């Protein structure tokens, strides 16, 4: 039986690319969550006025990769210490956030966050929000598999490719196939 998790760690293109091809990840959908606008569009979310964060919804096989392991990877592959920012992407839509579905997920997220803080992996306090998921709104089709379809664009080369390379180096044993 699969499980799901909704995570925001800056640009959803980056998050999707990082988790792509990891063993146990069954599907990835970029989208929006945490705001007040129904059926938001990318253009609306980019204004910062909808309250939504760019997120990904991961469906995963917990017998291959556990919820806590997904969170540990999440906390190491984006900067969870910058409020409403990832690199040059600035605004609440780029915030670090974990949306939980129930108390089990909430408690696990709080535990992993505390574990990461205690390990001192970052030089500043972690500002990742841990909040209940109300609604996940899938992004427009053009945002699905963005890095895979557009690897040679400037943003993909400058921002996404280094994150994917870092993920493959740190978590090589978790990937289904070699290469980027």
* Catalytic machinery residues: 11
Sign of torsion over alpha carbons 29, 5, 154, 164: negative
Cα 164 to chain centroid distance, Å, stands at 13
Integer Cα distance of 131 and 92 in angstroms: 14
CA angle 93, 95, 101 (to 5 degrees): 95
């Amino acid at each position: 039986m699969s499980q799901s998790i909704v995570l925001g760690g800056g640009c959803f293109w980056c998050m999707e690319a990082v988790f792509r091809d990891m063993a146990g990840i069954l599907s990835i959908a970029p989208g929006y969550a945490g705001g007040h606008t129904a059926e938001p569009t990318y253009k609306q979310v980019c204004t910062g006025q909808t309250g939504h964060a760019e997120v990904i919804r991961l469906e995963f096989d917990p017998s291959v990769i556990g919820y806590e392991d997904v969170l540990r990877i999440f906390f190491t592959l984006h900067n969870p210490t910058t409020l409403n920012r990832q690199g040059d992407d600035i605004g609440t839509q780029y915030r670090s956030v974990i949306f939980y579905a129930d108390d089990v997920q909430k408690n696990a997220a709080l535990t992993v966050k505390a574990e990461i803080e205690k390990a001192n992996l970052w030089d500043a306090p972690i500002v990742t929000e841990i909040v209940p998921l109300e609604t996940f709104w899938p992004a427009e089709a053009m945002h699905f598999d963005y890095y895979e379809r557009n690897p040679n664009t400037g943003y993909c080369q400058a921002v996404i490719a280094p994150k994917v390379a870092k993920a493959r180096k740190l978590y090589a044993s978790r990937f289904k196939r070699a290469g980027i």
